[in-house]
Amino acid sequence: MDRRAFLKSSAMAGAMISFSGTKAWAKSSDARIEIFTQEPVGEISPNIYGQFTEHIGGVIYDGIWVGENSKIPNRYGIRAELIDKLKQIHVPVIRWPGGCFADSYDWMDGIGPVASRPTRTNFWEVDPDAKRLHEKGPQIFESNQFGTNEFMRFCKLSGAKPYLAANVRSLPALSFDRWVEYCNSPAGSTTLAAMRAAAGFPAPFDVQYWDVGNESWGCGGNFTPEEYASAFRRYTSWVPHYGIDLQFIGSGPNGGNLDWTNRFFDEIYSKPAYNNASFTGWSVHFYSSVTTRNKATDWKPEKGDALQFDSVDWYELLHASSQIEQIIQDQWTVMGQYDVTHRVKLVVDEYGPWYREGTELDPTHIFGQQITIRDALATALTLDTFNRNAEKVSMATNAQLINNLNALFLAHEDRFVATPNFYVFAMYAAHQGAQGLRAEFSAPDVEFMRDGQPGHLWGLNGSASRKGNVVTLTVVNPDVAKPTDTQIALQGARIAKASGTVLAAGDIHAHNTFDRPDAVKPVSLGVSINGGLLTASIPPGSVSKFEIITG
Ligand code: AHR
């Protein structure tokens, strides 16, 4: 009997049963979670809790960079409130400068004295959204006030490692070598090291993570997989290392495109085999966006709205976001046909819901959108998926940190607010560097009517990890209406103490604004321990975290 049938026929009828032989479940509950403390699934890389930042709309200018002479509290020109918040979530890595912008960016424009840096046309000048912008704004004409030095400062102040995306579409391979040289050549060694020192940074930045192009199948050059494989060989061969364990991340598929991965790996591994130990990452970009149930015909209206949605749209978005699990499995399988030892891991360096325009805070915020509790659930279930696939996913960066798509923060001029996504990253930080554990979630599916047809979505899902005697369990309850009475059992350990935290809201559209910054924020969740089981009532439409002390 499969698990779902088992739940419906037996447990839901209230029978006393023994589940895996060691724990007796209580008579009535809606759901059960069993954590196998002796069954590790791999160490959860802290780097999967990374963020992505691009020179687009309000991300850099208005979001991160306010300028040294600004009245807005700043450190070296960087918004101080943002730095403080990033430290709270232990941000491990930040990707920059794009995105599509990366393949139009010359890093040389962003170094040297700020006053003599050139102004260039921003990649996003071509975007239809750019029409509404002030024609001289930095979103159209890039001022290069924020360049490599400023980004490195931002990372250092926030406690993050830098992850740089190199331009493969419009700069030669030599320029990539030179960027590595500028960042990593030792103090006093090269002309570029001297330029770095003149800017106040004598010590190398020691950048380890390098993205070799961005979306090379699209804005990054419209390459075929074979052409991109050829470029990848040229850009990554004989790059100076300066003793740094460089990690090259190849530009992987759009969502679940297996053809791109198959053909690239075929070229790299067999025609002839290219054994570069620094090729350790394969990026995946996955945005969840189809929320109008295919009623619309053209591209834009097909994207749903960030704030105007019903409960079916809620489930659709969560269902769409859940597809990341299958993408990870499928990509991993294809990669393993060539890379049999799985040296190359997945790097999901752009992900999150993507809605149509209209909820951005300011016209300059291209791809800016409001973030509701629904997005917090989408983000949480994505992070849980990465945790469950800890041996496959080595890094991930959320698109994007501020004022864009799945933002953790919204800011305009002197106003700043943390979105529900920030609280998800705060709650999930406990998983960073922990040992992922196998966990089974048994709950009836959520069932709903989808335009006259029955639809369903999993009832509860999440992930578990262990650090010493602390087990962290995170859980998403997608049901818009019903709390889920849940029993939690640890196999192989005794629950000594436990506490719960929950992010939930009475309204599925709830979001934080400058005027109501605390509309959605975590509160404590009551738990009890009975007969070796932890029990809690998990609120509808919520993200929960349980801290379980064993002993
Ligand atoms: O995150 C916004 C854009 O989405 C990025 O620039 C690009 O890589 C992706 O298509």
Q: Is 211 in the pocket of ligand 1 (CB under 6 A)?
A: no
For 52-81, the pLDDT digits (tens) are 999 999 999 999 999 999 999 999 999 999
What is the per-residue pLDDT across 203-244, written as a single tens digit (0 to 9) for each?
Answer: 999 999 999 999 999 999 999 999 999 999 999 999 999 999
Largest CA distance in the chain: 76
pLDDT tens for 168-210 read: 999 999 999 999 999 999 999 999 999 999 999 999 999 999 9
Looking at 197-246, which runs of residues are DSSP E strands? 209-212
Cα distances (angstroms) measured from residue 375 to each of 166, 212, 305, 354, 457: 30, 29, 12, 10, 16
Catalytic residue among 34, 350, 357, 360: 350
**Residue closest by Cα to atom 8 of ligand 1:** 99
Span 154-181, average pLDDT: 98
Mean pLDDT of 455-478: 97
Position 154 pLDDT exceeds 70: yes
Cβ(50) – ligand 1 distance below 6 Å? no
Is the N-terminal amide bond of 73 cis, ω within 30° of 0?
A: no
Task: Please report, as a single letter, which amino acid is at residue 529.
Answer: I
Query: pLDDT band at 453, cuts 50/70/90?
Result: confident
Task: State yes or no: pLDDT of 326 exceeds 90.
Answer: yes
Mean pLDDT of the region 246-251: 98
Give the C-alpha distances (Å, rounded to integers) separating 333 from 38, 262, 326: 26, 10, 11
* pLDDT value at residue 92: 98
pLDDT tens, position by position, 3-53: 333 233 333 333 333 344 445 666 667 999 999 999 999 999 999 999 999
Please choose, from the candidates 182, 176, 179, the residue with its C-alpha nearest in 3D space to the C-alpha of residue 197.
182
State the closest ligand 1 atom to the C-alpha of 220, by its place in the atom list counted from 1.
8
Residue type, 349: D
Decide if 43 is catalytic: no
Both tokens assigned to 154:
């931002």
CA torsion, points 417, 423, 425, 427, in degrees to nearest 10? 160
In whole angstroms, give the CA distance from residue 510 to residue 377: 12
- 163 pLDDT more than 80: yes
117-153 in b/e form (b: 16+ CB < 10 A) is beebebbbbebebbeebeeebbbbebbbbbbbbbbbb
Residue 400 in contact with ligand 1 by CB distance below 6 A: yes
Query: Within 98-215, where are the H helices?
Result: 148-158, 173-184, 191-198
Asked whether the beta carbons of 378 and 321 are under 8 A apart, the reply is yes
pLDDT at position 25: 65
C-alpha 210/C-alpha 280 separation (Å) is 10
Mean pLDDT of the chain: 92
pLDDT of 303 reads: 84
Count the alpha carbons within 13 Å of 146 in the hemisphere toward its beta carbon. 29
Q: What's the whole-number mean pLDDT along residues 468-493?
A: 97
- Dist CA 366 CA 472 (whole Å): 37
Q: What atom in ligand 1 is closest to the CA of residue 101?
A: 6
Instruction: Tell me the mean pLDDT in the region 351-374.
Output: 95
Ligand 1 pocket mutation, candidates 350, 366, 367, 369, criterion most atoms within 8 A of CB? 350
* Per-residue pLDDT, 1: 27
122: left (phi over 0), alpha (psi -120 to 50) or beta: beta
Active-site hit among 215, 267, 316, 360: 215
142 lines ligand 1 (CB under 6 A): no
- Specify the DSSP class assigned to residue 227: H
Answer yes or no: are the C-beta atoms of 484 and 478 closer than 8 Å: no
Q: Is 391 an active-site residue?
A: no
**CA neighbours within 13 Å on the CB side: how many for 413?**
4
Instruction: Concatenate the DSSP letters of all residues of 113-147 into one string.
Output: -GGGPPPEE-GGGGSGGGGGS-TTSTTTEE---S-
What per-residue confidence (pLDDT) applies to 135? 72
Probe target for ligand 1 pocket from 96, 124, 285, 405, with the most ligand atoms within 8 Å of CB: 285
Residue nearest to atom 5 of ligand 1 (CA): 99
